[in-house]
Structure 1
Amino acid sequence: MESILGLSLPFKDPILIFGICMVVILATPLLFERLRLPGLIGPIVAGVVLGSSVLNILERGQAIELLGNVGLLYIMFLSGLEINMSQFRKNRDRSLVFGLITFTIPQVLGTIIFRYLLGFDWAASILIASMFASHTLVPYPIISRLGIMKNDAVVTTVGGTILTDTVALLVLVVVARGYEGELTTTFWITLALSMIIYIAAVIYLLPLLARWFFRNVSDGGKSEFIFVLAVVFILSYLARAVGTEAILGAFLVGLTLNGLIPERSRLMNRIQFFGETFIIPFFLIFIGLLVDVSVLASGFTAWIVMISMLSTNVITKWIAANITRRIYNYSNAEGWVIFGLSTCEAAATLAATLVGYELGIIGDDVLNGVVLMIFATCILGPSIVNRFGREVARQQEEQPYEPGKAPQRILVPLANPSTSEILVNIAAMLRENKSEETVFPLTVVAEETDSENTEVNVAAAERLLAHAVVHAAEIDLPVNPVTRVARNPASGIVEAATERRVSDIVIGWNGASSPQQRIFGTVIDQMLEKSTQQVWVCKINHPVNTFQCLIVVLPTLIDHNPGFYEAVRSLKHLASQLGASLQVLVVNDQADRLQQHFNEVAIEVTTSFMQVATWQELRSYLQKTSNDTNLIILVSAREGTVAHERALEHLPQMLADLQSSFLVLYPSEKEARSFGAFQPQYLPDILTEERVLLNLNTLSYEQTVNALLSTAIDQQDPRHNRVLKALVYDDVGYASEILPGVIISHARVQELKETKMFLGIHPQGVRHERAAQPVHVVVLLLSPAQRTTQDHLAQLAEVAQYFGHVENLDQLIACDNTLQVQDWFERQKTM
């Protein structure tokens, strides 16, 4: 087939080529996912089919080769950027061990096999073995999509990439120079010095340049994105110029910029979107275009070379992954993920192949065999990672929340458009990775006697909220904007926080002093007096991603505050998100006791402690350490609490006068209780006879809930319709848990004096949009709003246990009276 629709093959028109590539990038992942295969494989297979050896529609021209190489560098950059640096530093010994194992075993066995079994000379044998001793993180987009980038085994594997690719490329340089007879002392000295200078420049100079740029250039994020791209590719080129390969430069840039680009930021969102939807797919198409399947029919040599390389690669990488899994006690699924990530060949393998071919060290058979091996491993690796990565993700999801972590709801009162983005950014960083709760941006409008003025003020507040909502969308942060009219702004904030059961309030302060203020000013001071939530008062002068160290000040006896544990967790989580270290200053208290509290929170952050004798000594220290790279966090205490001191009230203004960036954290005043501290009420006490309805024949789930609610809340009661709609449509604070044949809708309700449970039996079954099959048992669990979320969820867990045995559900559905229902519940208790 030499033409299609009058166009000669392969296509030459760049617009048509680009359009075809876009169709491939769009359609093939969807098709392969429908076939239950990783979508990542789709562009690779499409590249083979459209390439010169099959349909001959596309050729490996300059444009596709350029985008392919860019995509390869982008994968390496992303893998360095998304790694958890605290966990990486903790795991560096593991990464070193894994890197040595996964390089040494393939290198040694590969050299022996190709030298003594296949008869290659030493130079070719060493070079070929180095091709599969290294690995390329082709399946990394799958890891990113599954959200397991920070898994211990993944971090170990990604860290091992540094060693394997570095050593493999050094082997390439040494073999090439040795083959040319240029392996002199001058070569070794030049290579070592150039690499030392390059690495030092990237590690020490790049952060200075990046921080300066992020602080001084602000245009909505476009310049930041272009700056990052420019740095990645220029420094990748310089890596090649000093004698190594560009992929190592891209990886090193990712590691260096890791702490400056938070996981939840507009810039990170754009980097990931651009790479995963556009650049990386071109690299996958490029891999497919490299494959020439016709060589498989030309003779047995290519088959022998390919099978030898592929089998040696797979077997040795599997051995290395299993040795590492056993040494560090990883799960079986984590072991397979290590194997899937480390078995893919592309970057260093391509570099070694092309250099060896140009120098004549290897011939056409090895070249074709290598390309086919790359294709095979790029199919195998993603398939394994996709399958077992899901298991690792599921294992992570099953790890229990700490009691105080659910649910986390953050309220962000806004008053100044210039600070709204910073406050939303801080809320995004404080938000837990597993949280499904939205963030609530809030504007409070002063109530006036003239309703027209109030409406004008509400419209202005909505414009402020719109700006915050747009920014939240850019950083992929779910928000639920709130506008409130109140006579007193502080009361409006507190009431909004109470109604939405908020756990954290993030509010800004301009640092201005006034005669009326006690600490911050009228609104914030009143809000602190009336609220019990954890409160963050923010005075930030620089982008939050430019801070390297969080200096935390702990006053005497602050750990006696009921919300101290949650405050510590929030501090360590914030430091982890920023990639910053924690320096804790303990004022006139025992540092060892407080350090133990920090150690109990299982978040890996580099933390140091220092004891300070007096407040005056603390002020002197803060004045000396106040700079653009340190964020000071004062953990304060409300008046009347055990840790409160008058000195705490003067520190914020002192820090504002120093032009320091700082946060003042007021821990929650709510009693923190674990699930185990609450004894759920006995079920018959909350499920009384009048709230059990049998043989229901309602036509919809809403009608069913309405019938049940009517047994306890009169339909004329204003609460009835509000609770009904909220339960049916899963409004904020209301949720439904779906079990086979059962739905449990639950909530905490204002003005409810005691916990109530409702049970409805529907023999024919009623439909619910989230249930795959008809629902026969409807349970409503309503708790008083005054009860803590932990207590409510503990009661929910108690109720849910009764419906864990699906095989017994038919007996409940067949019950004719409430006595039989009670007997059914009693039987479940013994199972």
Structure 2
Amino acid sequence: MLLSIALILIVGFILSSIFIRLRLPGLLGLILTGIILGPYYLDLLDPKILSISTDIRQIALIVILFRAGLTMNISDLKKNGRPAILMTFLPATFEIIIVTLLAPIFFGISTLEAAILGAVLGAVSPAIVVPRMIGLIESGYGKAKGIPQMILAGASVDDVFVIVLFTSFLGMFQGNGFDFFSLLSVPLAIFFGLLLGVLVGYIMVKLFKYFHIRDTVKVLLILSICFLMVSLEENLKGFFPISGLLGVMALGGIILKLYPILAKRINTKFSKVWLGAEVFLFVLVGSVTDITALSEAGLAVVLLILISLVFRMIAVFLSVSGTNLTFKEKLFTAGAYTPKATVQAAIGSLPLAMGVPAGSLILTVAVLAIILTAPLGATFIDLSYKKLLEK
């Protein structure tokens, strides 16, 4: 495992630096590192590290979502209340509906299989979007109108909505029928997740003000609490709806509101933690990307992905309609909401493993969506924000 860790860090940093020098997002080099070192190409990674890949990627997501909370000023988010709420479900809904309608025509699969495919395809990647929105908030681009805050919040909740739908559709395939209460669990999971984060954050701020603790120890304590909140979600799954990841983000937000001086200090430390977490996150996303599945990809698969992205962007434009955003700002918002990676890597192979007849097709679409949209979306954000947003 030590060799695998060394290869991930050394090759990841080298390829990331090369892509940055080419004025391309460094994460492309990290994903490529995972593909090269992973089991579908050179197979140089220890199976032990691949077996805990999901946990490592989740830790990286916890780090970046907590940082998101530390930079998300609630008063800024209120400026785009309605659009921010619509962004959490409308783009994904549009994408799932169009895939459900077109996939049976393109591939001859059933409507239920098409719905499962749409749910796999419908999630945006917070791992790509969130760190870039944090960078925009810190540099001031679009911050006055709350654009990065709106995208950041929407991307964080979007996954909860899509994964619940994915689970429901799979349940229907297994003969369990469509459970309406699973849909009801979406707003409940969001509410209780945010409530948990606020309560825990309030308690921690009180403790930090009363007891003198080094900032490094505070970071370790906060990480431990975040791990507990996410574990709580896993342990209560099926009994009580709660989103641990949203709780993590709310924890950062309440620390920023109640103790801004501390928030600024620990954000600096978490930014350093993210340097390493980012490498492992995207390299391991690349390692579980089965490029052999691309042999089944044809023009119809590419066309389906592109059409679904168009409808997703249309939904984003509808979400932000009636606001004071200019066309350029709306275009940036729509383009920034297209990258896919983490969710597709996590659930893309599940339908195949569970015996869905179109499982191989679903895996192919998931892999191709990562390869197409992750680099294009990240590159769009990195190259366009100075032209499309006001500082």
**TM-score, length-normalised on structure 1?**
0.42
SS at match of 1:231: helix
2:171 corresponding residue in structure 1:
177
Counterparts of 1:392 and 1:346, CA distance in 2: 24
**Correspondent of 1:292 among 273, 284, 290:** 290
**Relative to structure 2, which stretch is displaced further, 60-69 or 167-176?**
60-69
Query: Following TM superposition, by how much is the alpha carbon of 1:162 offset from its aligned partner in structure 2, in angstroms?
Result: 4.6
* Cα pair 2:67 2:267 within 8 Å, conserved: no
**1:375 matched residue in structure 2:** 371
Return the letter of the residue paired with 1:389: Y
Q: Deviations over 1:298-336 (max 9, x none)?
A: xxx433564144213322233234445654353454334
**Is the contact made by 1:235 and 1:253 (CA closer than 8 Å) also made in structure 2?**
yes
Q: What does residue 279 of structure 2 align with? A: 281
Instruction: State the SS of the aligned residue for 2:26.
Output: coil
Q: Does 1:234 align with 2:228?
A: yes
Q: Which one of the candidate residues 308, 315, 325 is aligned to 2:310?
A: 315
Q: Does 1:27 align with 2:25?
A: no
Task: State how many pairs are aligned.
Answer: 378
CA–CA distance in 2 between the matches of 1:58 and 1:106?
35
Q: Equivalents in 2 of 1:191, 1:152: separation in Å? A: 28
CA contact (8 A) 2:100 2:115 kept: yes
Deviations for 1:547-588, whole angstroms, at most 9, x for unmatched residues? Answer: xxxxxxxxxxxxxxxxxxxxxxxxxxxxxxxxxxxxxxxxxx
Aligned to 1:699: none
1:738-788 per-residue CA deviation (whole Å, 9 max, x = no partner) reads: xxxxxxxxxxxxxxxxxxxxxxxxxxxxxxxxxxxxxxxxxxxxxxxxxxx
2:268 counterpart of 1:269: yes
Larger Rg: 1
Equivalent of 1:360 in 355, 360, 366: 355
Q: Give distance in 2, aligned partners of 1:336 and 1:73.
A: 29
One-letter identity of the residue aligned with 1:18: I
Contact 1:77–1:251 (Cα < 8 Å) also in 2: no
Deviation, 1:279, is 0.6
Q: 3-state DSSP class of the match of 2:5?
A: helix
Contact 2:165 2:183 in 1 (8 A): no
Equivalent residue for 1:349?
344
Is it true that 1:57 corresponds to 2:44 in the alignment?
A: yes
Aligned counterparts of 2:116 and 2:325: Cα–Cα separation in 1 = 32
2:230–2:245 contact (8 Å) kept in structure 1: yes
1:778-803 CA-partner distances (Å, limit 9, x unpaired): xxxxxxxxxxxxxxxxxxxxxxxxxx
Residues 134-160 of structure 1 deviation map (CA, whole Å, 9 limit, x = unaligned): 212213323333424735222222232
- SS of the aligned residue for 1:343 comes to coil
Offset, 1:27: 2.1
Preserved CA contact (<8 Å) 1:99 1:161:
yes
Matching residue within 103, 113, 116 for 2:105: 116
2:41 pairs with 1:45: no
Q: How much has 1:32 moved relative to structure 2? A: 1.1
SS at match of 1:265: helix
Task: Give the counterpart letter for 1:334 in structure 2.
Answer: E
Q: Deviations for 1:673-723, whole angstroms, at most 9, x for unmatched residues?
A: xxxxxxxxxxxxxxxxxxxxxxxxxxxxxxxxxxxxxxxxxxxxxxxxxxx
Q: Distance in 2 between matches of 1:85 and 1:176?
A: 36
Q: Which residue of 2 aligns with 1:207?
A: 201
Partner of 1:144: 134
Distance 1:257 1:80, change over 3 A: closer
* Structure 2 Cα separation of the partners of residues 185 and 128 of structure 1: 19
1:385 Cα shift? 0.3
Distance 1:118 1:39, change over 3 A: same
Cα offset, 1:88, TM superposition: 1.2
Distance 1:311 1:249, change over 3 A: same
Letter in 2 for 1:45: L
Which runs of 5 or more residues in structure 1 are unaligned? Answer: 1-13, 397-831
- Equivalent-residue separation in structure 1 for 2:290 and 2:189 (angstroms): 36
CA distance in 2, matches of 1:310, 1:17: 33
Q: Name the amino acid aligned to 1:294.
A: T
Look up the match of 1:15. 2
- Among 238, 243, 264, the residue aligned to 2:237: 243
CA 196–392 in structure 1, closer or farther in 2 if over 3 Å, else same:
closer
User: Which amino acid in structure 2 is aligned with residue 381 of structure 1?
Assistant: G
> In the aligned structure 2, how far is the partner of 1:54 from the partner of 1:339?
34
Q: TM-score, normalised by structure 2?
A: 0.84
Mapped contact 1:237–1:246 kept (Cα < 8 A): no
Aligned partners of 1:318 and 1:239: how far apart in 2? 31
- Equivalent position of 1:128 in the other structure: 117
- Against the structure 1 CA distance between its residues 39 and 247, is the aligned structure 2 distance closer, same or farther, given a 3 Å change threshold? farther
Report the 3-state secondary structure (helix = DSSP H, G, I; strand = E; otherwise coil) of the residue aligned with 1:252: helix
Q: What does residue 91 of structure 2 align with? A: 102
- Residue 238 of structure 1: how far off its partner (Å): 2.0
User: Structure 1 residues 347, 243: CA separation in 2 closer, same or farther (over 3 Å shift)?
Assistant: farther
* Cα pair distance change 1:207/1:123, threshold 3 Å: same
Q: In structure 2, what is the equivalent of residue 488 of structure 1?
A: none
The answer on whether the counterparts of 1:333 and 1:389 sit within 8 Å (CA) in structure 2 is no
Q: Which AA in structure 1 matches 2:245?
A: A
Sort the Cα spacing of 1:91 and 1:71 in 2 relative to 1 into closer, same or farther, 3 A.
same
Q: 1:246 to 1:199 in 2, by over 3 A?
A: closer
Displacement after TM superposition at 1:392 (Å): 4.6
Q: Which amino acid aligns with 2:367?
A: V
**1:515-664 to 2 correspondence within 5 Å?**
none
Q: Which has the higher contact order (CA 8 A, sep 6+)?
A: 2
Contact kept? 1:73, 1:247, Cα under 8 Å = no
Query: Whole-Å Cα distance in 2 between the matches of residues 84 and 102 of structure 1?
Result: 24
Using the alignment, how far apart are the partners of 1:90 and 1:107 within structure 2? 28
Distance 1:247 1:200 in 2: 9
Give the letter aligned to residue 41 of structure 1: L
Identity of aligned residues (%): 18
Structure 1 residues 73 and 252, CA gap change in structure 2 (3 angstroms): same
Structure 1 residues 242 and 179, CA gap change in structure 2 (3 angstroms): farther
Quote the residue 2:78 is aligned against.
89
Q: Match for residue 153 of structure 1? A: 147
